[in-house]
Amino acid sequence: MVRIRTLSLCTAAVLLAASPLVFAQTAEEEAPHAPAAESESWPYQEPLYTLYAKPTSHVRLRGGYASNPDTDSVAFVLEGAWAFGPVGVHLRMPLGLAMGEDTGTEFTYGDLELGVRWLISHDPASERHLTFGLDLIAPTSRIGEESDVAAVQAGTLTDSSNFGKRYLLAQKPLADMGLVPRLNVGVTPWVAFGQNIGRVSLQTDFGCLILVMDNIDASVYGINRRVGYLLFFDLAAPVSITEELSIVAEFNALVALDGLLGTGFAVTVGPRYQTGAISAGLGVQLPLGVDNDPPDDDKMIGRYDQATVARHHIAAILDLAYRF
């Protein structure tokens, strides 16, 4: 009897000792598992000069001061854009001041641009995206131009219209390139893609600017080339310092094709601040390999300038946007 009682006491002691472990294990199994710590994500940052591919609804003011061997310029590009799901449309109107030693300071306006873009693919997690776009350029700068082109070129007649005031800014770079400097229509197909890689919003675009010029007698400009093809390429890598502030570094390139003379390579750097619906960027664009003698390699597409193709040596860029 004593032995049986001793065994019973030992068994009870073992059960009592093991019960906290059993209850603890049961509680651990029943307790919900804590979610794994999410990896830190950064917002997709917008570049300064490279095409921003994602469709958005916004109003934008782009400004720029460009130093040019023929004439300096202060430009403002007014832009309105509307997004309809994966499709976006935009309207741009460039205007500003052309400043030359011989011509003085003149207010001029450029060529109206209407564009559409289609977001083909988009991964919200990584912001990986692919976009196709098509822009049309209308020759609004030629409204009211002097019709006697030969007399203007010979110097016997002065073209005091908006088009005439823009000769050094917008027409001479095209003539130096080897193209008749009177635009009929421009078409720009382009493709852009990018994604977030940690703090870096890597993005790139490339496309072709197709310019169809007016049928002017070759004796006027000494040029018989009416169609021009200009390939452009941009690579941007904005780096997030905070969720609102980023530092943007870009490489920009323009290459004239099919016998035209002129290329442009540049580096663009500057900060961009984004908060809520407001975005503001400021940058400096430094052309590479400038030699001061046309046809030189300091031509760029005038995305912030008044001219479709602009020649400049150094430029300051301002970009303000409000999304709605």
Q: Which of 56, 55, 51 is nearest to 205 (CA)?
A: 51
Q: Does residue 25 sit in the same domain as residue 162?
A: no
Strand-pair category, 200-213 with 278-287: unpaired
> What pLDDT score was predicted for residue 207?
97
Q: Which long-range contacts (CB under 8 A, 24 or more apart) does 251-258 make?
A: 252/49, 252/50, 252/285, 252/300, 254/230, 254/299, 254/300, 254/301, 254/309, 255/230, 255/231, 256/177, 256/178, 256/228, 256/229, 256/230, 256/299, 257/208, 257/229, 257/230, 257/231, 258/228, 258/229
Write the pLDDT tens digit of every residue in 206-220.
999 999 999 998 888
In whole angstroms, give the CA distance from residue 65 to residue 72. 8
What CATH number did the domain enclosing 204 receive?
2.40.160.40
Q: Does residue 72 sit in the same domain as residue 160?
A: yes
229: in domain: yes
Phi, psi torsion values for 141, nearest 5 degrees: -65, -15
45: in domain: no
> What pLDDT score was predicted for residue 133?
97
Write the pLDDT tens digit of every residue in 61-72.
999 999 887 889
> What pLDDT score was predicted for residue 240?
96
Domain that holds residue 10: 1-32
Q: Where are the alpha helices (DSSP H) in the chain?
A: 2-30, 149-154, 162-165, 172-177, 218-221
Residues 86 and 122 sit within 8 Å (Cβ to Cβ): yes
In whole angstroms, give the CA distance from residue 270 to residue 203. 16
Write the pLDDT tens digit of every residue in 162-189.
999 999 999 998 998 899 999 999 999 9
Confidence category of residue 300, pLDDT binned at 50, 70, 90: confident
In sequence order, the 6+-apart residues with CB closer than 8 A to the CB of 270 are 48, 247, 248, 281, 282, 283, 284, 317
307: in domain: yes
139 upstream amide cis, omega within 30 of 0 = no
Confidence category of residue 23, pLDDT binned at 50, 70, 90: very low
Looking at the predicted structure, is the pLDDT value of residue 7 above 70?
Answer: no
> What pLDDT score was predicted for residue 28?
45
Q: Please give the residue that has the higher pLDDT: either 282 or 312.
A: 282
> What pLDDT score was predicted for residue 40?
66
127: in domain: yes
Confidence category of residue 281, pLDDT binned at 50, 70, 90: very high
114: in domain: yes
Q: Does residue 113 sit in the same domain as residue 189?
A: yes
Q: Does residue 25 sit in the same domain as residue 136?
A: no
* Overall domain count for the chain: 2
Looking at the predicted structure, is the pLDDT value of residue 152 above 50?
Answer: yes
Q: Does residue 236 sit in the same domain as residue 89?
A: yes
Q: Does residue 94 sit in the same domain as residue 223?
A: yes
Q: Does residue 117 sit in the same domain as residue 193?
A: yes
Q: Does residue 23 sit in the same domain as residue 118?
A: no
Q: Does residue 175 sit in the same domain as residue 255?
A: yes
Residues 306 and 109 sit within 8 Å (Cβ to Cβ): yes
The pLDDT > 70 percentage for the chain reads: 85
**Token reading at 94:** 């460039």
Q: Does residue 2 sit in the same domain as residue 131?
A: no
> What pLDDT score was predicted for residue 103?
76
296: in domain: yes
Q: Please give the residue that has the higher pLDDT: either 188 or 300.
A: 188
Phi, psi torsion values for 116, nearest 5 degrees: -135, 145
Confidence category of residue 128, pLDDT binned at 50, 70, 90: very high
Mean pLDDT of all residues in the chain?
A: 86
Q: Does residue 243 sit in the same domain as residue 200?
A: yes
The pLDDT > 90 percentage for the chain reads: 62
Q: Does residue 177 sit in the same domain as residue 273?
A: yes
Write the pLDDT tens digit of every residue in 229-255.
999 999 999 999 999 999 999 999 999
Distances (CA, A) of 93 to 61, 135, 199, 300, 302: 10, 13, 34, 18, 12
47: in domain: no
- Give the number of other Cβ atoms within 10 Å of residue 27's Cβ: 9
51: in domain: no
